[in-house]
Chain A
Amino acid sequence: MTALRDTAKAKLNLTLEVLGRRDDGYHEIRSLVAFAALGDGLELEPGQDLALAVDGPFAGALSGDNLVTAAAEAAKVRGTERSTLGAFPPDQDFACCCRSWGRLGRRSRCLAPARQSQSRQRLTDDSLGARSLPGLGSDVTACSAEPAGAR
């Protein structure tokens, strides 16, 4: 049963300036981004264990770390707010199935529609904002803030 389905539009960095290296080793950047009409598909299905499946022409190259898994793991840490990751009961984990639909196959694009879907469910920034998912990087923040006019 697919509970959520959405498209993760490709994010394009129209500009990207590296401002310098931070004390924590990351780099401070300034970027103007836009979103293309094409992207990956994402499906979320309820399940007992967290799992990720990727298919499409680039699936074979997309093993290893994936932002979808990282976001799901980060959300699980929140425990009682687990149910905010879609329409899942709070006592149930979810399985995440990412399908690239033969378009991009980018590993980091899959998180965005999950967050957009959450937004459409009127979830607040406080319930599952990027601040609650530290360490996931700037793509999460940018995709979450995607304005309608930039799509």
Chain B
Amino acid sequence: MTGRGEKVTPVRGIAGLRRGACQSRPASSQRLDVYGALSSRPPLSGEQTDAEIPDFAGSFERLLDHAAPRGNDLEAAALQLGAGDRRGACGAPARSRARISCRLSGSGPTCFALLRDGG
């Protein structure tokens, strides 16, 4: 399916989010503002190739291993536009046991942390 050219590949066999914290507020920094802060990004060079989908073998831990070191390229721009209070509020309870420490989702109106089992 394509809207603006999206390609979506479902990751099958993952049991789901077993531990999580999520906080959302209406977006005070709009998506276009966040992407506008990225306006210095260079134009794409050439045609993009499909991303290789990692084999998580149905393991949520492997999925987290993949996601944890990767960030959200929009986060810095969202923080500049005032999303920092959301991440701060989320980070305090999750800091000690979060597998992914508190991170903004997308352009910033939602923040989340994924916690270790038993945390």
Contacts and interface: CB of A to CB of B under 8 A. Distances in A.
Contacts of A26: 4
Contact of A36 (B2, B12, B22): B22
B11 interface: yes
B110 to A, nearest CB: 7
Nearest to A149: B14
A137 B107 CA distance: 13
Nearest to A61: B26
A145 B8 contact: yes
A82 interface: no
A10 B22 contact: yes
Interface in B31-68: 35, 38-39, 41-45, 48, 51, 63, 66-67
Contact of B43 (A14, A22, A135): A22
A20 B41 contact: yes
A146 B9 CA distance: 9
B46 to A, nearest CB: 10
B3 A133 contact: yes
A66 B3 CA distance: 16
Q: Is the interface of B mostly helix, strand, loop or mixed?
A: loop
Contacts of B8: 141-142, 144-145
B23 to A, nearest CB: 9
Contacts of B96: none
Interface residues of B, number: 47
Nearest to A125: B1
Interface in A113-142: 125, 129-131, 133-138, 140-142
A16 B72 contact: yes
A145 B10 contact: yes
B3 A15 contact: no
B3 A21 contact: no
A32 interface: yes
Interface of B: 1-6, 8-17, 20, 22, 24-27, 35, 38-39, 41-45, 48, 51, 63, 66-67, 70-74, 100, 105-106, 109-110, 112, 114
Given A14-B114, A35-B17, A150-B11, 4 more contacts: A15-B72, A29-B73, A31-B106, A145-B8
Interface of A: 10-24, 26-32, 34-38, 58, 61-62, 104-107, 125, 129-131, 133-138, 140-142, 144-147, 149-151
